[in-house]
Amino acid sequence: MNNIEEFAKKSVQRMRLSQKKGNEVKIEIIDHLHELKQECWNKDINEEQAEQLAFKKLGKTDLMLRWHEKQTFQLISSAIVYIVFYLLTYLFVHHWLAVSRYTEANLIAIVPIAFTSFYFISINQSLDHIGFLYKRLIIPLFVAEKISVPIFAYLMFHRYANHSFRDIAGFTESQYPFLLIKGLVGGIQFYSGYYVLSSVFVLLTVFLLLDKLKSFVSVSFKFVLTVWVNMITTASVMVYGITDNVFGGATNIKLMVIITIYILCNVAMFLIYPKRVSTT
């Protein structure tokens, strides 16, 4: 048994998992260590040094234990974040921001995907499982939204029409799919052929970017704090925008105030964090 297998075996023993789960975790640790070792080896480092650096880079094995113990919680809470930010973004940009439907479509695509990804990374304290997040959660929700939104709108039009679909929708049922693709359907004007294509591009871009950052970004307390500060600030701004619609909506002054709030929140976070480290 080599050093990597011995390290993986001892790590799994400390986790006190079932035999089946322990074997899964052991294989995951071994594969991850071999990847790290190969990365170090490619930098003109001998095999022994590469192996030691791999052990060091792996970090605490309790992160892996946390992942296997709280996998379900992480996925469920991430799903809630996705749905909440999707609804907030739609209501915010559709009822408060005076932007084109193309800008609206891009915001509705990128905000929930980006914030869900960062939230998942922050509670998982690692980028290693970002592929799992997209495969098991974001892509299924993404596809479900593309199917459910037009069906929901169609059913609402159909339900509230007094005598025919045209009474409330302004067009016949046969025209619905074509007007939907053009982005001309009532309150879901953002949903168009452009939105379907651009949202796929957004999803791939965010995923590939995060996947490339695996080897370069360490998920520190500062990273987690940054994510939560911006999530809370964004949610608060969106709630304000939605409720402020009756008081005149967006103005240049209000937008400048919001930008200032973002800057102050992040500056305060970066100033407070070093002091916390120095006092501990």
Nearest to 241 by CA among 100, 112, 95, 86: 95
Contact (Cβ atoms closer than 8 angstroms) between residue 122 and residue 74: no
Q: What is the pLDDT of residue 82?
A: 97
Torsion angle defined by CA atoms of residues 68, 72, 78 and 81, in that order, rounded to the nearest 10 degrees: -140
What's the pTM value of the predicted model, to 2 decimals?
Answer: 0.73
Q: What is the pLDDT of residue 276?
A: 47
Parts of the chain with a pLDDT under 70: 1-2, 11, 13-17, 42-44, 54-69, 161-165, 167-169, 215, 246-247, 273-280
Contact (Cβ atoms closer than 8 angstroms) between residue 130 and residue 214: yes
The label of the residue with tokens 């937008």 reads 255
- Count of CB atoms situated within 10 Å of the CB of 12: 23
Q: What is the pLDDT of residue 143?
A: 95
Torsion-angle region of residue 170: left (phi > 0), alpha (psi -120 to 50) or beta? left
Q: What is the pLDDT of residue 113?
A: 96
Q: What is the pLDDT of residue 146?
A: 93
Q: What is the pLDDT of residue 161?
A: 67
